[in-house]
Structure 1
């Protein structure tokens, strides 16, 4: 009898601990997001932050850092533990989720009838590499406390609703960290073990390995953050990218020593022009799961009034308005976590910008395209590479060498090339056409209308190399992304 009583007490205490940590994880991400708002896509903090912004008035506003997780929770409650990604998409539509970035793209795609997981795929979602899956994944760690393999599996499956490849791997990393924090005591171990769930070939894993190598070499957080930004934020210029921001989340947790304020301050001070609120939210959630409610500043917790409420998020409104108790959210997450969650296993996805031609015209090879920053957090950044139905839009990774599209063609007897190309309004780029080593055309393409360019190709061999260059160094013109609709190579018209 005594053994049964002890087992009961042990289970009861464990349940109380998990409930407390789950409430703390959800509360901490709300606090982190709101403390990080003043630095989102802006210069980093250079002062210690110990309070919510002076303008903050409880309850907590509705924000994407935690609203999409509330939507996921509602979906589990409606559809059960075998929730499909398509059912999650239906819940997004019902709850009007998708205000910004890749999440907005997902919402717009669903309105067009495109279903998840295609809503996250680069074939359709132009911002597939950004932070949406990463800041939406904390809940998957809470649904699998102490079971990071399950947390990673949930995040990799559901994260494809609003992202792909490295963005989804960011969700896997955050979910695994939150899950591990229920059973680990050392935040450094949390970061290292969570990184192990990411495919070594992924740019996200490479950024984490880069961080860990520097951290273990004894370098300080400021030096590490600067080097990470120079390597990864240059590669992904959008301020809401997943990879560079994810490395800063790792840094914040690793050096935060399980202290909430230290962790959040590392996130908001790490670098200029980052997605600081998302980073502080994700890092904060890990600390919440690690330390429980006792690890959060009581005065800050009180200011939330134990509620998330509001009728608007960015351009979207909610009818009825959102009004959720934070403590109630934690209990509801626990109720779902007790059920046998089962999702299909999804292999890690790898995708490069060069792969876009597979869905546009596989006869052409794309080289030196860059992610650009348009649509990615900070307004006014130009340039992006993506596919818009039958139009391939490109922006150079390196403005000196430019973008190149290449193929081989049989030019025996001579051929004619026709291109439908365009530029953005009041902007321009330069098109150059080469057949082997011979430059055939150099032409300024100005927006906004698409235009047809016809170019005679000289007689040549059966495997003549055709190269099309996009240059954005165009003198006094504002540079534009290149829009390529259709390229054909056919017989020359017979002479009369």
Structure 2
């Protein structure tokens, strides 16, 4: 009986031209938001950014092709272009593992896990990724809604493929929430309804959903006072450890997906459809204050459409420039999104038709989204224990970061090896640093563990042997250079502003006392305060006279 009287499916109608118009605007919105907020990123953490600190918009700021928010999305889109919307999470992981761009936090750890043979979804599991609730997938999930107009389920499903590479629980839900808002923005302009549509895409009992419900409630209580809502968000979600249980705690910033998701929503709600208000409010909330306005502006611009955007936001867009680490120009990106969105329409029960003028029109069935199953990073389910097969590992060309760095160092300083190098400040070979060419940068592993450079050499019995080093420091900090031979400390020297000239210090250590012996030489980049502790090595030579 219920089947006989079931209400007919409601359909949404979207022309190809209208889709392209809104999708293009969504990408431009991301670029506008990240470019506008970029100068403020992490400068204000736990404080509202003063209005005078927000830069004025300039049209040339739109070309943000080098931003990680964007170039990671290009990898995901390329995977979908090659393998379709049904791509496996294992294949998505292989493609992400082979990316070569800089990454941080959950993205970086997830990629390292992949390169070490851990197969997804374990790569984002809290047992293997201490950044599981970080913001990473949230800032790169825009694509999932931009290729899913009116199809929130597609954004959810794409989050289960791509978001699980690096995140878990709320870290994944943040991306699914963002994707769901984009999917709604093709047909809805009212910010509250867009936020509520995104909320339907995540588990209702998740802390992320609780956060968004709180922001909606406080917005209704204080519709003209976004700073009061910011204070309430700050008290509950930044100052309360129960609401920050599995995101990065390094430094004084907070990149928990929930907190920053609240700032996206605040920009949308209090911006009330105005571009500048939306971006400025989302930015002034602080923390990751370029990524949050990027999400907010992308969603808002999708509601507006490219043809209706003010000229100052699109006049200087370079449509032929390529996104960093990608072959996609803006023009190619648009074409790929059209291809994938057309696939999504059909895959999720829609139809591709022609109107009376021969134009392409998409008929999209309205279906309530089915949120992912609730999991929590602080009380996770057991990992699946899956690993990549030898055949799959053969397709991962990039080495894990530590091995790749060690190989690069050995090529730079033959005979020497690198150990316990930390990831802070992105160590590696610099073609030029502070006036010197081919400088290798290292960093201590942590506050107690120095980075160590090692070589074992035979000291001739009848020659004078000197170790000559040229080392530098970051302008904002210093570090301690320690030289050991067979465990004996030969030198301990601060490398900093007071000891170096123009940022560089020349050091000579006489090794002749070890004549006729085999000696293990250790050079330590030792921390002495944990502020800009990188060691810069312009020369490591052993001279025999």
Q: Give TM class, smaller chain.
A: 0.5 to 0.7
The yes-or-no answer on 1:231 pairing with 2:232 is no
- Rounded to whole Å, the distance in 2 between the matches of 1:303 and 1:148 is 32
| 1:324 Cα offset (Å) | 2.9
| 1:153 Cα offset (Å) | 2.7
One of 190, 193, 210 as aligned partner of 1:186: 190
The change in CA–CA distance for 1:233 and 1:298 in structure 2 (over 3 A counts) is same
SS of structure 2 residue aligned to 1:47: helix
TM-score normalised to structure 2 length: 0.58
The yes-or-no answer on 1:36 pairing with 2:37 is yes
1:112-151 residue pairs with structure 2 within 5 A?
A: 112-151=116-155
Instruction: Answer whether contact 1:182 1:289 (CA < 8 A) is retained.
Output: yes
One of 270, 277, 280 as aligned partner of 2:290: 277
| 1:259 Cα offset (Å) | 2.2
The change in CA–CA distance for 1:78 and 1:200 in structure 2 (over 3 A counts) is same
- Rounded to whole Å, the distance in 1 between the matches of 2:203 and 2:13 is 37
- Rounded to whole Å, the distance in 1 between the matches of 2:77 and 2:231 is 37
The change in CA–CA distance for 1:357 and 1:178 in structure 2 (over 3 A counts) is closer
One of 326, 335, 342 as aligned partner of 1:338: 342
One of 302, 307, 323 as aligned partner of 1:289: 302
SS of structure 1 residue aligned to 2:117: coil
The yes-or-no answer on 1:47 pairing with 2:52 is yes
- Rounded to whole Å, the distance in 1 between the matches of 2:171 and 2:33 is 21
- Rounded to whole Å, the distance in 2 between the matches of 1:258 and 1:285 is 12
Find the counterpart in structure 2 of residue 62 from structure 1: 66
One of 271, 275, 278 as aligned partner of 1:260: 275
1:342-357 residue pairs with structure 2 within 5 A?
A: 346-352=372-378
The change in CA–CA distance for 1:96 and 1:348 in structure 2 (over 3 A counts) is farther
SS of structure 2 residue aligned to 1:18: helix
Find the counterpart in structure 2 of residue 18 from structure 1: 19
Q: Which has the larger radius of gyration?
A: 2
1:84-163 residue pairs with structure 2 within 5 A?
A: 84-97=88-101, 99-163=103-167
| 1:261 Cα offset (Å) | 1.8
| 1:193 Cα offset (Å) | 2.2
Unaligned runs of 5+ in 2: 1-11, 349-369, 385-445, 450-528, 531-545
Q: Deviations over 1:272-316 (max 9, x none)?
A: 4x11111011101101211111453322323331255465xxxxx
Moved >4 Å (runs of 4+): 48-54, 56-59, 354-359
- Rounded to whole Å, the distance in 2 between the matches of 1:228 and 1:12 is 38
- Rounded to whole Å, the distance in 1 between the matches of 2:238 and 2:301 is 28
The change in CA–CA distance for 1:50 and 1:147 in structure 2 (over 3 A counts) is farther
Find the counterpart in structure 2 of residue 380 from structure 1: none
| 1:48 Cα offset (Å) | 8.2
SS of structure 1 residue aligned to 2:94: helix
The number of aligned residues is 343
| 1:177 Cα offset (Å) | 0.4
| 1:51 Cα offset (Å) | 4.4
For the aligned residues, what is the CA RMSD?
3.1
- Rounded to whole Å, the distance in 2 between the matches of 1:185 and 1:325 is 28
One of 244, 260, 267 as aligned partner of 2:259: 244
- Rounded to whole Å, the distance in 2 between the matches of 1:303 and 1:49 is 21
| 1:47 Cα offset (Å) | 3.2
